[in-house]
Copies of this chain bind each other. A is one copy, B any other.
Amino acid sequence: MKTITTRRTVRQYSGRDIEPEMLQKLLAEAARTQTMGNLQLYSVVVTRSAKGKAALAPAHFNQPMVESAPLVLTVCADFRRTTTWAQCRKGTPGYDNLLSFLNAATDALLFTQTFCNLAEEAGLGLCFLGTTIYQPMAIIEALQLPQLVFPVATLTVGWPAEEPPLSDRLPLESFVHVECYHDPTPEDIDRFYKEKEELPVNREFVRINNKETLAQIFTDIRYTKSDNEALSKTLLQALRKQGFWK
């Protein structure tokens, strides 16, 4: 996996299409990822049509790559197929609950990331859209997802038409704990975040937003308490609607 250390999120794609055979190979290989009881509790909806992308775009706040990418993949936590299988086979399925949602979401996300690693190694450029769980009902409607299917990841996929700079990462000691968790002290925080806070691009970001600190960009603008609380409510409503909250 030589590409991992040089990977970047790619949001601009060339006009070149992705051949169905290539996509199938990547999906089949990604499906070698381990899953719960080897049940493969996920499904993938492939959107290639302009109409399909236009239907998904609002759910992702109209980020341009949804419509400009040749391919949009929506990966779902899926207990539907397994439940139907059980119903057809005299089983008594009981997967309409929080644990089962998280089990299926886990399968879906692990599968998604192997797909990302494989696709990037094959030269494709990807953007992972965190917006998937912000407005899940809009995606559920656009893709006609039935009960016990819930979108957890969206990828826009294409051949790269940009090579953005590599993004920074926190030092290993900030997220690796030995034997037990070590709560960071204010001094630890200073050390962990120094490089990130001093990056010219981040300093400029703070300046143009009239903030004092980089952390405020996240708490006051990008991921605010009030947004998170409102979106948690709609997320819970969507989980109920899809039958994952008995």
Contacts and interface: CB of A to CB of B under 8 A. Distances in A.
B36 A130 contact: yes
Contacts of A91: 213, 215-216, 218-220
Nearest to A29: B4
Interface in A166-192: 167-170, 172, 174-181, 183-184, 186, 189-190, 192
Contact of A177 (B46, B102, B235): B46
A33 B213 contact: no
A241 interface: no
B172 A94 contact: no
**Copy number in this complex?**
2
A31 B167 contact: no
Contacts of A67: none
Interface string A27-45: 1111111101111101111
A60 B86 CA distance: 26
Nearest to A134: B99
B88 A189 contact: yes
Given A81-B175, A94-B226, A113-B113, A86 B218 contact: yes
Interface string A1-44: 10011010100000000000000100111111110111110111
A118 interface: yes
Interface size band for A:
35 or more
Contacts of A105: 102, 105, 109
A180 B175 CA distance: 39
Contacts of A133: 99, 102-103, 106
A45 B179 contact: yes
A98 B34 contact: no
B49 A232 contact: no
A223 to B, nearest CB: 7
Contact of A92 (B117, B153, B222, B225): B225
A68 interface: no
Contact of A117 (B40, B106, B117): B117
B246 A80 contact: no
7 contacts: A27-B172, A28-B169, A37-B130, A91-B213, A92-B219, A98-B232, A105-B109
Given A84-B189, A99-B134, A110-B113, 17 more contacts: A24-B172, A33-B116, A36-B223, A45-B181, A46-B177, A46-B179, A76-B181, A86-B216, A88-B186, A91-B219, A98-B232, A99-B232, A103-B133, A105-B109, A109-B110, A109-B113, A113-B113
